[in-house]
Amino acid sequence: MDVRRIAAVARTHHGLITIEQARALGVSADAWHRAVRSGRLEHLFAGVARLAGSPETRLQRILAAVYASGPGAVASHRTAALLWGVPRPEREPIDVIIPRPHRSLPADVVVHRPTDRADLQVVLRQGVPTVPPVRMLLDLGAVDRYGVAAALDTALRERAVRLEVVRGAVASHSRQGRSGIVALRRAVEARVVDGRPVDSDLETRMSALCRRYGLPAMEFHATVAGYEVDFLVVGAKVVVECDGWQWHGLDRDQFEFDRARDAQLLAAGYVTVRVTWRQLRAEPARVAQRIRCAVDAFSERKVAETA
């Protein structure tokens, strides 16, 4: 058996090779089993092996479980959440969706065979066949209802989904007995302000801050001087922008656009108060005080008197 040809495939599949992939390279079943006995391949599951010496990683274990689950299997639920960037516990079961009954699998592999087959397209994520992010959110509540809100926040922050798309999925998948849908519906509802979807969990926290500290009413996603802003304080020429570091700090174009927009708003008589995620979490009272001071200085009545 030409190990170099096997290694070329394994390197692009987290160090793994299946017997079907080996056969496609011209390797016979006998040659496969000889390679396993000699130690050149390390047996993991039936028909799935690791190239000797390749690093043992979490992604490798997940892909091996998907391979071992048979044709059409995909990572799902908690495992799909991990693949889409949601922080998950280091040691938890590997969830897979399989289209038909299959041979027994290791204890740490949880098999799902949902009757709801909508939105089950196969997506490659970090080299592993998995479900799209919307389907991941729909299914996650069935095994971890407390993790759904964090998963939705991550998917929104990474721009893997849009909230209006998730809202539509919740509506179309809702039915009596649909496990996990309640948790996602509640997470979505918590991210709607004035009937409109928020852009991130940061804006949700901003709305909660206003209620907690008795700040003036704010119009969400108002249009000011031709720009759509996060919040406009009612009765004051004060705009509140919620800045996530990933979107506004690391993106140079976004950084430049934000500054240009602030200048345009100031020229139109509006002051912009920028609030970050860290500030909202660590010092909410100070954030509230900054906004209140800006409102006192830029209330429409005071601005009119100054003019």
What integer pLDDT is reported at residue 200 of this predicted model? 57
Backbone angles phi, psi at 9, to 5 degrees: -75, -45
DSSP 40: S
Q: What tokens appear for 173 in the block?
A: 């998948």
What does the alpha-carbon distance between residue 231 and residue 241 come to, in Å, rounded to a whole number? 7
* In contact, 180 and 140? CB cutoff 8 Å: yes
What angle, rounded to 10 degrees, do the helices at 181-189 and 133-140 form? 110
What integer pLDDT is reported at residue 248 of this predicted model? 41
Chain-centroid distance, C-alpha 42:
34
Angular region, 159: left φ>0, alpha ψ -120 to 50, beta rest: left
What angle, rounded to 10 degrees, do the helices at 284-297 and 201-212 form? 70
CA torsion 179→181→182→185, rounded to 10°? 180
* In contact, 215 and 291? CB cutoff 8 Å: yes
The 10 Å Cβ neighbour count of residue 252 is 8
What integer pLDDT is reported at residue 126 of this predicted model? 92
Entry pTM:
0.66
Residue 129's closest CA among 88, 86, 97?
97
Query: Domains in the chain, please, with CATH?
Result: 3-51 (no CATH), 63-190 (no CATH), 197-306 (3.40.960.10)
What does the alpha-carbon distance between residue 167 and residue 67 come to, in Å, rounded to a whole number? 32
Residue 134's closest CA among 159, 158, 164, 169?
169
What does the alpha-carbon distance between residue 87 and residue 131 come to, in Å, rounded to a whole number? 17
Angular region, 53: left φ>0, alpha ψ -120 to 50, beta rest: left
Residue 87's closest CA among 24, 157, 19, 37?
157
Residue 269's closest CA among 245, 298, 226, 293?
298
Low-confidence ranges of the chain (pLDDT < 70): 1-2, 102-103, 176-177, 193-203, 244-254, 300-307
What does the alpha-carbon distance between residue 213 and residue 283 come to, in Å, rounded to a whole number? 12
Angular region, 132: left φ>0, alpha ψ -120 to 50, beta rest: beta
What does the alpha-carbon distance between residue 221 and residue 219 come to, in Å, rounded to a whole number? 7
Residue 262's closest CA among 254, 250, 270?
270
Give residue-wise pLDDT tens across range 213-247.
999 988 887 889 888 788 899 889 999 988 754 44
